[in-house]
Structure 1
Amino acid sequence: MFSKSKIILSWLTLLLSFGSIFLSSWIFLPAPNMFLLTLGVGAPEISPWLFLLNLLCLLLAFFYIHRRQLQRLICIMSLIGLLICGWVLVNIPLTQMQMARAMKQGLGGDYFKQIPALVSAQMQTHPFNLVNFFRGIPSSKTRHQTGILFAKPAGVPLTMEVYQPPEIGKYPTLVVIYGGAWQRGNPGANAEFNQYIANRGYTVFSIDYRHAPQYQFPTQLDDVRTALDFIREHASEYEADPQRMVLLGRSAGAHLAMLAAYQPDAPPIRAVVNYYGPVDLTEGYKSPPSPDPINTRAVLRRFLGGSLEELPNQYKIASPINYLTRLIPPTLLIYGSRDHLVEVRFGRQMYKRLLQSGKTAVFLEIPWAEHAFDAVFNGVSNQLALYHTERFLAWAVN
């Protein structure tokens, strides 16, 4: 009976070890398709859990498995997994230092002193908190309204969700635009983030827009601009200050946020936050990523109505990088080095062009992060991004 138990334990440990090394490997393996991209996104963000899992397998193999070959195999796999996950964990302090330096370079060495003490006191005190990773990032209750109709173009109802601080007042405005390759998504996305920011003293509007391929550019930009007009007209109803408005988007939503903020006739906008958004659609079509799990050229054709060869001017008009000759609001760019949908080189290029144009900009790069890294709200990358995003927002509106 004892021998049978040890055999079962050996096989369970082997299976656990295979699972842990398989998941850990996606911290550095490029995903060839959208299914595996989910693992590429999630693996680095849960690396502390994977580190513990690999450590558990190593300890089980070392103390409870006595078959030499099996013990050696599990130990090797576990050590490899520990090294992969450890690479992320060891790089957290270095990445944080680089981000802190980038914030000071972009906003000024004393930017944090410009934030009111009451505002800064509510912020996270550490860029990465291991306790918050395991238990979740704490956030108090907020007021939340859903299904607010702001327009009905061509009979299509467009709604928004509003998150407000618990106390009645007048707050800075954050407009959030979801991603989804311009083809999918809804205002209910990223609810944890919206609630968190509202709890920090903002009225957060999460807005909708019509989707490609049924509706092609500039329909999506028109819908965002319509939402901004609605928010400005009805700001008092939602305790929002329209003079202290910031746009924030993710992926396709970041692209729309930049375009809306950079338009010559844009309303007063204090800043724009770009989480891994496309900035140069022309170059994106010319040189898609490899591997290309989303089929970038097909996505762009659906969004713009044709290929680059067919619609070169449309690609140019739809690229935020071509709008830097006028006065534009400060821009925060956050990208993952391992992004295989919108490569980090586009973020770097945008940052370089912003600086060359004399604009205020901050570029933050997370070495291990994939596209949509903030989908794991309490994950490693999002904690770092959130820490600096809330500081950028507070600096911009105050």
Structure 2
Amino acid sequence: MRFLLLRLLPALFCTVLLLAVAAEYAAARPSHRTADVAYVPATDSAFSAERHLLDVYAPKMQSARPYPVVVFIHGGNWNSGSKSLYSFVGRRLAKQGVVAVVINYRLSPQVRVPQMADDCARAVVWTQQHIGEYGGDPARIFLMGHSAGGGLAALLATDDNLFRRWGLAQNPVRGTILDDAAGLDMYDYLRKMQYPNDRQYLTAFGPDPAKWRQVSAMHHLTAQTPPFLMFVGGKTYPSISSSSAQFRDQLTKLGHTPYYQVLPGKKHIPMVLQLYWQHNIIYQKLLPFVGARSGDEK
């Protein structure tokens, strides 16, 4: 019964999100969406016509100063998920004076996590090069991710090599918002294999412990790591609770002061569904973090 429930959860999650998306389009929003922009050239040998796409949500209100930018990376257990399910995130951010970039990336089993991280890095590189065309500030790029997307966002913020390979001398990420992030230390997680069905993750992460460490943000933290906001569900999975606390503690040891909040009673999926509501706690903390001006909110 428990295994059947675990198999049904992704479908239930998608159903709830689709209902949210339908409700979203029932009313006009003060934002403009540019959909299905390719962030990898079609001539690239790795190009995926479905997965190498992003949507940009920009405030309709003109501003004398470019808006801060948030790149949102969806979750889905590294093997599912789509930007189309998260239009509500893009629209809520744009409504509050942020240019939002909601991305797709390739998934398991077609690729493994290093290739997913590379896709996300290329989306951020595209953002830095082009976001000025949408009213965004290329000098104020922040990341946000839920679940597996949170782990990828943390990795991009901490591993400068992901950007050096694409010609950037400096990591363009100015800060990261983690929403019940998974995969912050898969090196530790996969060595222990302490939960039922943990071997499923070898499809996405491969059999090599050196690769697990490479894609674990925990092992790239330094004193120069950009700031983090961290939100954890009070009733989320134990592995997310423990790895998030360890991530916070390691940041603190390195001299950082990450914002860290446990949201009582919240399970893993509601941690992202709450982003449907404009005034939830994550947006309340995110807006000053990225430098969105209160006057931009409409």
SS at match of 2:284: helix
Asked if 1:319 is matched to 2:216, the reply is yes
Contact 2:67–2:135 (CA under 8 A) maintained in structure 1: yes
Residue in 1 that maps onto 2:106: 210
Q: Which has the higher strand share?
A: 2
CA RMSD of aligned residues (A): 2.9
Do residues 155 (structure 1) and 47 (structure 2) align? yes
Preserved contact between residue 174 and residue 204 of structure 1 (Cα < 8 Å)? yes
Q: Does 1:346 align with 2:243?
A: yes
- 2:198 is equivalent to residue 304 of structure 1: no
For 1:289-309, what per-residue CA distance to the aligned partner results, in whole angstroms no more than 9, with x for missing partners?
A: 75x5xx3331x2011222xxx
Shift of 1:186: 1.5
Report the equivalent of 1:235.
Answer: 131
Match of 1:389 among 278, 286, 294: 286
**Do the aligned partners of 2:180 and 2:271 also contact (CA within 8 Å) in 1?**
no
d(CA) in 2 for partners of 1:37, 1:184: 12
The aligned counterpart of 1:196 is 92
Distance 1:36 1:388 in 2: 33
CA distance in 1, matches of 2:93, 2:107: 26
Distance 1:139 1:363, change over 3 A: farther
Q: Percent identity, please.
A: 23
Q: In the aligned structure 2, how far is the partner of 1:395 from the partner of 1:354?
A: 25
What's the CA shift for 1:376?
3.3
1:145 aligns with 2:30: no
Q: For 1:333, which of 194, 211, 230 is the aligned residue? A: 230
Distance 1:375 1:248, change over 3 A: closer
Unaligned stretches of 5+ residues in structure 1: 1-29, 42-137
Task: Using the TM superposition, give the Cα deviation of residue 139 of structure 1 relative to its aligned residue in structure 2, in angstroms.
Answer: 8.7
TM-score (norm: length of structure 2): 0.78
Aligned to 1:252: 148
TM superposition shift of 1:208 = 1.5
Residue in structure 2 matched with residue 283 of structure 1 by the alignment: 188
1 CA distance for matches of 2:121 and 2:62?
A: 27
Give ranges in structure 2 of 5+ residues lacking alignment. 14-26, 164-170, 294-298
CA distance in 2, matches of 1:36, 1:163: 31
With the length of structure 1 as denominator, give the TM-score of the two structures.
Answer: 0.60
CA–CA distance in structure 1, aligned partners of residues 108 and 7 of structure 2: 21
Bigger radius of gyration among the two:
1
The corresponding residue for 2:257 is 360
For residues 359 and 230 of structure 1, what CA distance do their matches in structure 2 show? Answer: 29
Note closer, same or farther for the CA distance 1:155–1:35 as it changes in structure 2 (3 Å cut): closer
Residue type of the partner of 1:272? T
Judging by fraction of residues, say which structure has more helix: 1
* Paired residue total: 262
Question: CA offset at residue 161 of structure 1?
Answer: 0.4
The residue that corresponds to 1:181 in the other structure is: 77
Q: Secondary structure at the match of 1:302?
A: helix
CA distance in 2, matches of 1:237, 1:379: 26
